[in-house]
Amino acid sequence: MASAPQTATTQSVRYAILFSLIVTTCLGSFGQITMATLAGIVGAKLSAVPQLATLPVVTGIIGVSIAVWPMAMARKRFGDRIVFTFGLLWAACGSALAAWAIIHSSFIGFCCGCFFMGNNMSLVAQYRFTAAALVPSQYISRAVSGLMIGTLIAAVIAPWFALRNRFWLDVEFAGSFAMLAVLSSVTALMMALLPLPSTQSDTNQQHSRIPISGLLRDRQLQLAIVSAAAGYAVMSLIMTATPISMHVMDGHSAEATANTMRMHILAMFAPSLISGWLIAKFGVRLMLWAGVVLQAVCVGIAASGHAEWQYQAALIALGAGWNLLFVGGTTLIATASDPTEGPRLQGLNDLAVFGAMAVSALLAGALLQNFGWVWTNLLGAALLVLIPIALLRSRSP
């Protein structure tokens, strides 16, 4: 009889931690959204070479990709609370460096600041695995989508926050990054107070001897990684190419282009309000198929013409499809992996995901210039085919 209140109390604590993780995900995502909003603009002001204006964005993406695996291994060695707190403090240092670089007109310094902020973005993305471990398996998809709602809130508030504080210091936009450093420091304090595991047990360490090649023979894990990575690659490729194609090549207004990108970002995260519930009700596989169909619809609409409504409809379908593939892939990783191998598999998954994002973003401009908008989308469709192949393979023994 005494165990029931204890179980209820433990469950209440777990859900309180989950709510706190949603809040810290929201605040931790401010760096990502601020960088996406301002890095290109600031880069154009600081760079002596116009073609390098987007280099700060690229260094931020590289910062994500490079940090994913080391940070996953650090989580395994030191625990989530210590590593997540360190990441937020590291991001605060990067934001402060970016503010200093803007004041002193240092393009290289600004790129370095974006790189450090990108390092922490790789950790913010891994909050979802910690959230998944807090709930029963049938609620994992809802926990993951709950954290993405935190990112949705950040996507709405962070641009206003960045612009509101751009004149806080003497040089325009320096205040945006200085206030971001303050926000990251406050979020680090919140994270340090969460009762997350600070170290991994010796038992976990002793059982972590299975080679990665052996782990990846599991076709469910293959499906999880392919779904998230291919969905992210297609999304990153088309999203990065859209502003260039729409505004520069097709002559649509900057306002129309910006509105299209806002609709896309909302389409990426707004489905999190129901995607976790849909996955729990109808199953991961069906929702992965739905994600593939939505991204295929995006390619079909985008390849059919260059009107404003076609860009907007395509980017909405692209974002919604990405959401289902990302949440579905994360759910599979969280449920199919041995808990003792969690951090390694999660790090490998995110290395594939953000590596695919980085490569596709870097190739988007070249593909668009050499092959045009239609063929860039069709090349994205070729990547999308990998997911149905993985889905069909995972059904066979």
Residue 337: pLDDT over 60 = no
Q: How many CA atoms lie within 13 A of 138 on its CB side?
A: 2
Tell me what pLDDT residue 87 has.
Answer: 94
233-271 pLDDT, tens digit per residue, is 998 888 878 877 888 788 888 778 778 887 888 888 888
pLDDT band at 189 (very low <50, low <70, confident <90, very high): very high
Alpha-helical segments (H) within the chain: 3-28, 30-46, 55-78, 80-103, 107-132, 140-164, 174-193, 202-207, 212-215, 219-243, 254-269, 272-282, 284-304, 308-336, 342-384, 386-395
Residue 1: pLDDT over 50 = no
pLDDT band at 210 (very low <50, low <70, confident <90, very high): low
Tell me what pLDDT residue 3 has.
Answer: 40
Percent of the chain with pLDDT over 70: 89
Residue 205: pLDDT over 50 = no
Q: Provide the whole-model pTM.
A: 0.75
Q: Which residues contact 367 (CB under 8 A, 6 or more apart)?
A: 237, 241, 375, 376, 379
355 or 199: which leads in pLDDT: 355
Tell me what pLDDT residue 54 has.
Answer: 67
In 3D space, the residue among 397, 171, 184, 137 whose CA is nearest the CA of residue 284 turns out to be 137
User: Mean pLDDT across the chain, nearest whole number?
Assistant: 83
Tell me what pLDDT residue 325 has.
Answer: 92
Highest mean pLDDT among 127-136, 157-166, 266-275, 306-315: 306-315
Could you identify the residue written with the tokens 């690659």? 233
40-57 pLDDT, tens digit per residue, is 778 878 888 776 776 787
Could you identify the residue written with the tokens 């997540």? 84
70-116 pLDDT, tens digit per residue, is 888 888 888 889 999 999 999 999 999 999 999 999 999 999 999 99
Q: What are phi and psi of 384, to 5 degrees?
A: -65, -30
* CA angle at 184 for the pair 125 and 176, rounded to the nearest 5°: 110
Mean pLDDT computed over 364-382: 86
Using only C-alpha atoms, the chain has a radius of gyration, in whole angstroms, of: 21
Whether the Cβ atoms of residue 23 and residue 190 lie closer than 8 Å to each other: yes
266 or 205: which leads in pLDDT: 266
Residue 221: pLDDT over 70 = yes
Domains of the chain and any CATH numbers: 11-199 (1.20.1250.20), 212-397 (1.20.1250.20)
2-43 pLDDT, tens digit per residue, is 344 444 447 777 778 888 888 988 888 888 888 877 777 788
Mean pLDDT computed over 321-336: 85
